Structure formats: structure tokens, C-alpha cells
Amino acid sequence: MIYLVGSGPGDPGLFTVKGVECLRKADAVVYDRLAPEALLAHARPDAELIYVGKKPGEPSMPQEEINALLVELGRAGKTVVRLKGGDPYVFGRGGEEALDLTRAGLPFEVVPGITSGIAALAYAGIPVTHRGLSTSVAFVTGHEDPTKGESDVDWKKLANGAETLVLYMGVGRLAEISSELISAGRDPETPAACVRWGTRSDQRTVTGTLENIAEKVAEANLKPPAITVVGNVVALRDEGLDWYERRLLFGRRVVVTRARAQAGELSRELEALGAEVFEFPTIEIQPPKDFRPLDEAIRELDSFDWIVFTSVNGVEAFVERLRHHGLDLRAVPRRAKVAAIGPATAREVEESGLRVDVTPEEYRAEALIGALEGDSLEGKRVLIPRAKVAREILPEKLREAGAEVVVPPAYESVPSSKGKTRLEELLENGEIDCVTFTASSTVENFVRAFGEEDAARLLSGTRVACIGPITAETAGKYGIGVDVEAGEYTILGLVDAVVDLFAAGDVVEKGG
């Protein structure tokens, strides 16, 4: 089966559920320049990814060759996703691909996508129809086949045939198109707008009138890809409908260095505020190479007076190992008390079915020690299932307080450098606004990925935000300047710190 899938206008969140399902089962993905790269994460790790994107002014794979490629992959018995920007059948040449597949006797399905002619304008605060202003809309290509010799667009009929005109791929011919519409009778004072990279964090909108929009677009150096709209609905943008560009982190590109499995919450919170998130997981969470210490602790679970969780990862790994033995958290003795280092960890424990007795007011190991010392620890057994490599201050202090502490590795944090080349390019070009670190291990693995000297140099040209003082101290140890620390050592606290950083204005130099 070949699936012709519309990837939508650019915001990965606008991709369809069916599109995700198709990507998950595809043997091969043939994708365009306008298809968001983030969507490729839904593909199987072993799927063949084939780029056939087109860039203005550069050589690209002809449409006939793309059609032939789809036929070749289909005849090889592969499940194929043809991932196209926007909607396959709205100026996407999906019909041409479908016809060639039909002629080859190959089965196909079309999965529609949200077209940018609606979505980009909605994100720019421009409805394509509005009662009292526009009851009709026409979608027109501004870039026709140059070999035809003459235009198929009847500008005279179109000029007054629809109250809203939406032009795809027309930026290069905007002056000519505007002149055609005015000559055909469209009022030169009709509001107009041009939206580049609509629905993405780098969306840009230029407004004017039909008479001057081409000049304003040229002054703003607005390049393709862009959607142009002509009609009275454009004026609604100035009445407060430009909701997307008002978001607190709009236009900011922020790097999240958490392990991919844990990046979700931070990425979602940043994206909800308008940021474009680049995930660079400096660590991957893996099972420990030797489960024997953890298995022994589970066998002796009845003997522990305290179970202390220092991360969400530790909770998940501990619960998963209990399941492996046919157990769950009911195996924890009723007399045992449970401590969690912070609210996210506590929430994970309680969602797994166990009540948390102690969470310190300050979310780090030193504060957790103080909270535990409120209860006499002399002669008590304490279990801390955590990463194989972690700070030793907590078990050391508990032992000094008279406790017997068992620290079995529940998981391992393994360095990762996936996406390193692309991130290095973005940092070198000054295209990253902020890099976030959620733990000392993320700093250390970032340094390991780039080397100490290059890590400090690359980060010197961007902002750095740390979840707390311990992480910031680790960054400082490697010569990395930290612009902001979270007031509350949580993911939401880190998000607030990033927002505050940009609300305070642009920082030209570190510490400026």
C-alpha cells in the first residue's frame, strides 16, 4: 500500500492521527522539504527515509522521477508513505502521483492534511471567511508551469469572483499578480497579507494593501514559502486575532537536552508558549547491565524502613522490575515510608499506587536529607533505586545518620549524541535562542558530545537555562555561562525561568 499523506502546514501538532498510524507501519517514507522533520520520529527505526524536497533556485528531483520512485517501491512490496506538505490534493501534485500509481496497478490511499491556505492564515489571525466580510474564498496558485506560455488563471473573473483570495507560491510574482487584480477591477485599497512559514515558530507576517503588499514584502525581505491573502478579512488581524504571534515564547528556538523518553513534558510546555523545540537527548535511559543487586533488594523488600526515589526514571524502572517478578507496589511493606525528591517524582509514585510520606520543600538531595532526618534513621534500612552513576551525597549522609543504605542500579544513563551535527550547525549560525539543562548529567553528556572547549564556545553565543544550582554549578565547572536558574527546581519552574529570561529583553552578550 502507498499512502499519500498530507503533513499539514508546518506545526507537527496539526498532523492527523491517521498520518501517524501510516508512518508507524511504513517500510519507506518519501518526504518533501515542507514536511516537518519532527514527524519522521513516528517512523520505524528501520524505515528507509528518502528526501525528495525542492528548494527554490536549486536542482531537485523532477516530479516524474518521484512518481517512478513510488511505483518502484510499491512494486517491491513495500508499505510506503509519501509525506507531502499541506494537503496532497491542494497544489501538492498528489493527483499526478495517484494517477501513476493507478496506471501501475498499485493500491493507494489518500490521507488529507490541513492546507496552509487555511492554517497559516488562522495562525496569523486571519479567518478566510467571516460573516459580514467574506462568504466566499478562492484558492489560487501563484506559480504555474512556466513551459505553458500563458496563464490558466483568469484574473479578470477571479478579481471579483470571491471575497477572499488565497494565493499559494505567489511571492515571486506578487507585483505582477497585484497589478493583474487591480487591472481586473479589484480595489487597490483591499487589505492584503503575506505569511511565511505559517504555523511554525519562525512564522512572519507582513500586511498592507493590494496596491503596496509587493513593495512591503520586498522591504521585509520575505522569501518563499509563503501564503498571500487578499480580502477584508485581513483587517481582523489588527483587532486582536493574531493569537499565535502573541505567545510568550513565539519565535524562540529552545533546545531540550533531556532523554527523549523524559523530554515530553518540557517540550510540550515550551511549545504551548510558542517556542520551537529542538530535542537533543544527551542521555538515553537503558536497563542496568546487571539486575542482580536490584533483584536482591526486591527479594528483601520487607526489611526496608524507607524507600527513597530521586527521579521519575527511578520510579519507572523500579515498578517495571517489580512487574518482571509478578509484583507491584503492594509488595512494599505497610510500615515502610516513602520519600520523593520533588513533585514530579512524587506524582509518578502516587500514580503508580503508593503514597508519598516526604517531599522536601527544596527539590534536591541536600534538602531531602534534612527532611528524612526529621525521623530517626539510626538502625533503619533505606532503599534508593536510582541511576547506576549519580551523586553520592544522599547515601553518604544517610549512612552518617546511622542508616543502612542499599543503592541498587535501577537504570543507566548512557551518553547520546543523536542530532549533534544539526545542533552544532544551528548553534554556529546563531539560530538557537536557549539551551536547557535539567540535570548535571545532561550538562556532562553535552560536554562529552562536543568536547569541553567546543561546548563552552558553542554555548557562549546563546542563553543557557538550568533547573537549579547543582546543574548550574556543573555547567560553571566546564566554563559554560548560565543565564538563568529555575526558582523552583521543577520542569515548570524551568519553563518559567526561560519565559522570564526573554521577558527581560534580549541579551547581547553573556551576563549582559
Catalytic residues, by residue number, are: 32, 54, 169
d(CA 81, CA 88) in angstroms, rounded, equals 12
Cell, residue 257: 537536552
d(CA 265, CA 276) in angstroms, rounded, equals 14
H-run or E-run covering 80 = strand 80-84
Contact residues for 296 (Cβ-Cβ < 8 A; gap 6+):
408
> Could you tell me if 320 and 348 are in contact, meaning their C-beta atoms sit under 8 angstroms apart?
no
d(CA 132, CA 233) in angstroms, rounded, equals 10
- Residue (of 404, 402, 397) closest to 382 by Cα position: 404
d(CA 418, CA 434) in angstroms, rounded, equals 19
Cell, residue 1: 500500500
d(CA 342, CA 486) in angstroms, rounded, equals 14
> Could you tell me if 169 and 163 are in contact, meaning their C-beta atoms sit under 8 angstroms apart?
no
> What does the H/E/C string look like for 197-230?
CCCCCCCEEEEEECCCHHHHHHHCCCCCCEEEEE
> Could you tell me if 463 and 457 are in contact, meaning their C-beta atoms sit under 8 angstroms apart?
no
- Residue (of 131, 126, 117, 211) closest to 168 by Cα position: 117
d(CA 359, CA 381) in angstroms, rounded, equals 19
